[in-house]
Amino acid sequence: MSTQNIADLRKSYERAELDEEASREDPLEQFGLWLQQALDAQVPEPNAMTLATVGEGGRPSTRIVLIKGFDARGIVWYTNYESRKGRELALHAQAALQFHWVELERVVRIEGRVEKTSADESDAYFNSRPLDNRLGAWASPQSQVISSRAVLVANAAKAAARYALSPPRPPHWGGYRLVPDTWEFWQGRKSRLHDRLRYRLEGTSWVRERLAP
Ligand SMILES: Cc1cc2nc3c(=O)[nH]c(=O)nc-3n(C[C@H](O)[C@H](O)[C@H](O)COP(=O)(O)O)c2cc1C
């Protein structure tokens, strides 16, 4: 296969199925089950998710972040609050997340409003990170134009000299939590007749519906 024939590249999805009976009534439980199965299957980077935000003029942008926690309150990741995504979330506190577990032929999509995690929660996670990562949070003005890689190396050396073994959490660094109001679980099936179950919040209960693939 060469890039010339890219239009002919297709795959039949036949590993599993997802139906109304076998799926959980609570999407959080269904997510926990699938994430555990992705961990058990040792798929590459099972914790990587695409995060979509909306910027000025309704312009969307995406990037990958790592899930660092999930419970009934929502899905958590950590980043630089002054990054592009941080600035976009300050403008529109709504986002979408997507996991693609290729080997399992599964996708999960999650949508909802986004809030910052508390300072205590961000501190606890920050302090659990390896030293290099903590210094890195000080060294990188994420998403800003820099003149060369040397700037980062110099910033990291400065942070190391200043904070030694115990850098505090930078004020511009912390967590976000997406509070889901919609989930979709996609399982690839044969002949493009994939299974899609969407859960949407109505009042305080989840309505589960099948979507056409
Ligand atoms: C597998 C993977 C995991 C990543 N995890 C994070 C993360 O948890 N937080 C983060 O800020 N950036 C993470 N990044 C880098 C982002 O994808 C992105 O380059 C960065 O956050 C800047 O995005 P922005 O300019 O849109 O804000 C990750 C990249 C990859 C490939």
Query: Can you give the pLDDT at residue 160?
Result: 96
Write the pLDDT tens digit of every residue in 65-88.
999 999 999 999 999 999 999 999
Of residues 10 and 184, the one with the higher pLDDT is 184
Locate the ligand 1 atom nearest the alpha carbon of residue 68 and give its number.
Answer: 8
Give every CB contact of residue 51 below 8 A, 6+ residues apart in sequence: 62, 63, 64, 65, 77, 85, 95, 96, 97
- Residue 183 near residue 106, CB atoms below 8 Å: no
Task: Summarize the annotated binding site as residue ranges.
Answer: 63-68, 78-79, 84-85, 125, 129, 142-143, 186, 192-194, 196
DSSP per-residue codes, 136-193: HHHH--TTS--S-HHHHHHHHHHHHHHHTT-PPPPTTEEEEEEEEEEEEEEE--GGG-
Query: If you measure from the C-alpha of residue 80 to the centroid of ligand 1, how many angstroms do you get, rounded to a whole number?
Result: 9
Question: Quick one: which of 9, 11, 16, 13 has its CA closest to 34?
Answer: 16
Question: Quick one: which of 179, 167, 170, 102 has its CA closest to 142?
Answer: 170
Query: Can you give the pLDDT at residue 45?
Result: 98
Domains of the chain: 13-129+171-210 (2.30.110.10)
Question: Quick one: which of 129, 130, 95, 137 has its CA closest to 113?
Answer: 95
Query: Can you give the pLDDT at residue 189?
Result: 96
Query: If you measure from the C-alpha of residue 83 to the centroid of ligand 1, how many angstroms do you get, rounded to a whole number?
Result: 10
Locate the ligand 1 atom nearest the alpha carbon of residue 85 and give its number.
Answer: 27
Residue 147, pLDDT > 90, answer: yes
Banded pLDDT at 127 (limits 50, 70, 90): very high
Query: Can you give the pLDDT at residue 18?
Result: 95
Q: For the residues 48-65, what does the mean pLDDT come to? A: 98
Banded pLDDT at 1 (limits 50, 70, 90): confident
Residue 172 Cβ < 6 Å to ligand 1: no
Residue 97, pLDDT > 90, answer: yes
Question: Quick one: which of 35, 89, 40 has its CA closest to 60?
Answer: 89
